[in-house]
Structure 1
């Protein structure tokens, strides 16, 4: 796919801001901008550690809360193995995307899809990013509202942190709390035009994930010393054919936990030394895998077979240790702050891909202030309204994880490699891609069937 500069169709130079003038383009600043003499930050590029934090924050979101439940289904042994396997496949798929983009000169995921499958390939990719990221951000906002303002499910009210601290007031209710967070935090953070500008908030977000992990480890250590921790299952509890099928429903959960492909090129385009992007990916996946394995194991150790689908919901009971209520609040608030800081990292590619769908031939979004503001305000409004008026979207989120997220993580990188329009894939690469597609299609078909069966047979909703 050919990248053209905005000044009349000449081929762009490496030190210019390039724009792909088709539906696949995602306008981003390159490593050196045209006005580098007046903006040293942009000309210098993003740092390696900042890129690691941004990519790690893209990976670690609400998906981590489902991993202890995944460990409950798989058992400790297979659970750790599957987490490592999905991390390996994620590194491979991202690596193939980077190789394909380097071979074609593409500067975005959509451009790579466009190079392999034409304009409709890029449009489908952008649509999947929009669906996936809007779903993720609505779920993040709902979780934030649940933790701070409380929620009711199956006739049982779970008090929020603010309600527990100050009692029930108009200003502690979901709508007002989300208005304050949306206007006071989401909107300012979503207004940055460079993803590298979020490196500091990303570092804090990763730190907060460690806070959650360290507190969980400390609680397990105390309860273990008291003799109140039971030995966890090492293998899955397989009793019938349904329990066998349930093992495959874990794959979409893990894929969703690792999906980061939509931000890889955005981070690479701003990196001071783009050749180090593969090391950024490797270090980020290693860091996140360590957090995932430890969270899964210690979360399962702590709650055993009582582990809920969202382990954060387990932290509203008496843990049987001193200062249990205070620790519960610290866990919930720290991870709520983590999700708040993850929001702009996931929002960034959402805005770019939606703009690419709606305004494929327009100037780069970063240069069009009015369009930038309108797209930003529109998306934030949709997410806010969805979180307030469509709160029971857990099943829809599971469908999203089994469709758009799996396509972005496994299926699209695999079919790009199998098409191999640039002749860069080896036989080993193509064998791995066939395995990825087969695993994704098989497991996601089972997951979708399982979710659909649950929706049409249950009598109560997860949230009321």
Structure 2
């Protein structure tokens, strides 16, 4: 599935070995000055996997619903390969140009105009992702608290605003204040363990709940017409390019060979988890699959409540990785890449506070986040890494090692354009909080029946929500 880029010099003057030696020397100096670069390959992989497996994974079953199960899996393989290839392409481009960040790479390649475009994209994507993380934490954990005896609808623990503020003050803000991303390695390991628990929950429910869900029309169709929108969803789930340089720079030995191993391991593992999660989720609910898979499970399903708890905590631990990226963009644009201790705290506080304020004010970001996936994720994965490498390469387009970057670039332009048009012309409904009609069936033995649904059933038809309807 994941292929390593072919070795050899990019041009006659610069070889991979020399790039590795120069890069190692540069990072050694930086580590002595800034005390950075302390991650082992294992720790870096944990951070990378945690960056990939974020909020987007919860919507991958819906992506299969959009594209059709067989075609959806093929598209997932394609997105994983492009992610793997373009991440290495990005770092190689940085080594060729002598740059150590996504922004500086684009600036050296396309000048100040390209730098501004990338800065907007690189800030916007993780910033909106952090808003979605807060919304997910608030909406998911409140459902968990409501299952605790003695916690009723009037309790402060059932108030999403309180939960968002509490998780921000107690967890996300303190973790985001770290200066060294390597210190999040253990936190990322915890998030991975929780992700496994969520996956097991979904697989168990596929076996126990799936047979009791009424079938939908042509659930195993090979392909469906809105497969392009599914690619945008998958891109949203797999994007990690915006913090690739941060994780690469945190390695003790930042060489291309070490980075390739970290990338292959991280993307390959993320693909396996994503494929298992998406298939298990889709075969459980087929055509009823919603954008937030946990909205498909009944409110009095105790196992699903456990899954919600794990997912909420996992999201809280992923938030700081995105904050690192937004802070780096602000640092590079306004502070020439250097933040004093005071400025570091102030900038972090402003970013986290702004995300918290917006997440408190909005509970439905469906269309905005779907556009974010098409307009931000696709350029950051498909278009910009390929364009930078082709600009720096001395070879001709569509020849030699430039063939694959050219194909990825054209595919990115197609997905971005077509996905944007389809999102505008065929927007998905934003519907929250409705119990699925099958939850009122009294003989569903696989769920707990000791407590009534927390909300009344509002309809008896499948709700086709946006992939990013987070409640």
**TM-score, structure 2 normalization:** 0.80
Change (3 A) 1:237 1:177: same
Q: What SS does the aligned partner of 1:315 have?
A: coil
Q: Deviations for 1:363-404, whole angstroms, at most 9, x for unmatched residues?
A: 622xx0111111101101110011011332211011111011
8 Å Cα contact 2:371-2:420 kept in structure 1: yes
**TM-superposed deviation, 1:353:** 0.8
Q: In 2, distance between residues paired with 1:452 and 1:407?
A: 18
**TM-superposed deviation, 1:303:** 1.2
Q: Deviations for 1:337-371, whole angstroms, at most 9, x for unmatched residues?
A: 110111011111111112212223xx622xx0111
Q: In 2, distance between residues paired with 1:416 and 1:91?
A: 16
Matches within 5 A, 1:301-320: 301-317=283-299
Q: Deviations for 1:111-132, whole angstroms, at most 9, x for unmatched residues?
A: 2112211233222212111111
Q: In 1, distance between residues paired with 2:34 and 2:347?
A: 25
**Matched residue, 2:109:** 116
Q: In 2, distance between residues paired with 1:458 and 1:409?
A: 27
8 Å Cα contact 2:109-2:391 kept in structure 1: yes
Unmatched 5+ residue regions in structure 1? 1-10, 19-29, 37-41, 150-159, 239-243, 319-324
Q: In 2, distance between residues paired with 1:460 and 1:364?
A: 44
**TM-superposed deviation, 1:35:** 7.2
Match of 1:92 among 85, 101, 111: 85
8 Å Cα contact 1:229-1:301 kept in structure 2: no
Q: In 2, distance between residues paired with 1:305 and 1:13?
A: 51
Size of the aligned set, in residue pairs, is: 408
**Matched residue, 1:418:** 390
**Matched residue, 1:56:** 49
Change (3 A) 1:212 1:459: closer
**TM-score, structure 1 normalization:** 0.81
Change (3 A) 1:35 1:260: closer
**Matched residue, 2:317:** 341
**TM-superposed deviation, 1:223:** 4.7
Unmatched 5+ residue regions in structure 2? 1-21, 433-468
Match of 2:412 among 433, 440, 452: 440
**TM-superposed deviation, 1:237:** 5.4
1:169 aligns with 2:145: no
**Matched residue, 2:355:** 383
Q: In 2, distance between residues paired with 1:62 and 1:177?
A: 18
**TM-superposed deviation, 1:220:** 2.3
**Matched residue, 2:366:** 394
1:213 aligns with 2:206: no
Q: What SS does the aligned partner of 1:14 have?
A: helix
Match of 1:350 among 326, 334, 343: 326
Matches within 5 A, 1:43-82: 45-82=38-75
Superposition CA RMSD, Å? 2.7
**TM-superposed deviation, 1:169:** 3.1
Q: What SS does the aligned partner of 1:271 have?
A: coil
8 Å Cα contact 2:96-2:392 kept in structure 1: no
1:103 aligns with 2:89: no
Q: Deviations for 1:165-215, whole angstroms, at most 9, x for unmatched residues?
A: 211235221222111111110111001001100000001111111111112
Change (3 A) 1:147 1:344: same
Q: In 2, distance between residues paired with 1:189 and 1:459?
A: 32
Q: In 1, distance between residues paired with 2:137 and 2:125?
A: 19
Change (3 A) 1:33 1:229: farther
**TM-superposed deviation, 1:432:** 2.1
**TM-superposed deviation, 1:425:** 8.4
